[in-house]
Structure 1
Amino acid sequence: MPMHEIKPTGHEAEARSEAPRIARETQEEQDDRSGKRNKLHRAPPKRGRRDPIIFSDDDLPDGPTPHRDAILIVMDVNGATVRRVFVDTGSSVNVMYLETFTKLGLTKENLHQVRTPLVGFTGNSIEPEGCITLTIEIGEYPRVRAINMEFVVVDLKSAHNIILERPGLEDLGAVVSLEHLCLKFRTPEGVGTIICDRQAARSCYLLACRQIGSQDLQV
């Protein structure tokens, strides 16, 4: 007896045509859920690779060691070359002395008020004249870094013009080596290096000693 093809009825045909679409939708839903999971668990973007900052024997200063010198550098501030910039890591503010501030052609009208006094390691406090943000440039071409840096201005006598402290060093991304008497920092052209002005460092040390000797010391 010949076999006859049995065609599905209307409801059966509709159900069969729906099955592949349901399967496709289910797969799409699974892919969508998988994509959402991947987004949730996706690792944060990696920071760009940066040049390592390395100190070697090639960076050591000439002369006998230990040298016991402080690090004094030169940098441009507000378009002027400022020498006797003392590099320190013991304070939470960058300090500019009022005499230097005035020589840069600035006036007290340029200052913003500072409500907190500065306290030294001896416990003495001083009211700042105010604070100001200036553009500084450090390094030698082409490895130069220029940033805006905040300074607290104080009316004190000092052998230095500026004290570059932790905030400024961090903003520059600088690493200091007392042994090598220099600091290094990253620039778009690679790692820049600033070498200590040893003559200025020793001159400032002698001047500070004379200032101390002219005052009454209390122990």
Structure 2
Amino acid sequence: MMKILVVEDELDLLESLVEDLRLSGYVVDQATDGEMAEQMIYEETYDLVVLDINLPKRSGLSVLEEVRSYNKEVNIIMLTARSDVEDRVSALDMGANDYLLKPFYFQELEARIRSLLRRKSVQQDSQLSCGALTFDTSSRQVLVNGQQLTLTRKELGILEYLLLNMGRHISSEELIEHVWEADSNSFSGTVRVHIASLRKKLKAELGHNIIQNVIGKGYIIEEKL
């Protein structure tokens, strides 16, 4: 059973998230300020922490920095206001695994949680697979029917991120945030160019497209092909 800590000082939102996550089958603890959160993370073992940036007593960024000084394994999703661009960049630089902009739909948060917990489970096994395709995250090699496929560094990064998030739509903006460098000036057109090249190479070997693009939702590799 996966254990999650939700840290949020907006009580209505906190109660809603805790209830929905418990209904989804998770064991959930809650905290309403930074000091309480830091103590709970230190004393308990969590698979994932949902951590608001703007907290009383101690900010979410301060908690994140402290936790990362002794715990590199726990997954952390930051909740941020739409205007806090600098805070989002700081959170990622300080070791947050992901972030979500308020307001958000619970289904999106749950999808991010499933994605991160899936990544945690595959860390024990470096092989990511989809049909005849295998991605070895240790050697950074992609095999199709046992034959190595040559990809660029960006293509490898995109494919790895889509495989780690298999079954979830990924926007161009999210790919830029997670595959490109923080100081990159990339935009959605850049992503489309790399995706097109990657899809062409994969289709040549697999005989079909495994990366689908759904307008308004983003790119996705389905779990069942």
TM-score normalized with structure 2 length? 0.21
Higher relative contact order (CA 8 A, sep 6+): 1
Q: Which has the higher helix share?
A: 2
TM-score normalized with structure 1 length? 0.22
Q: Which has the higher strand share?
A: 1
Larger Rg: 1
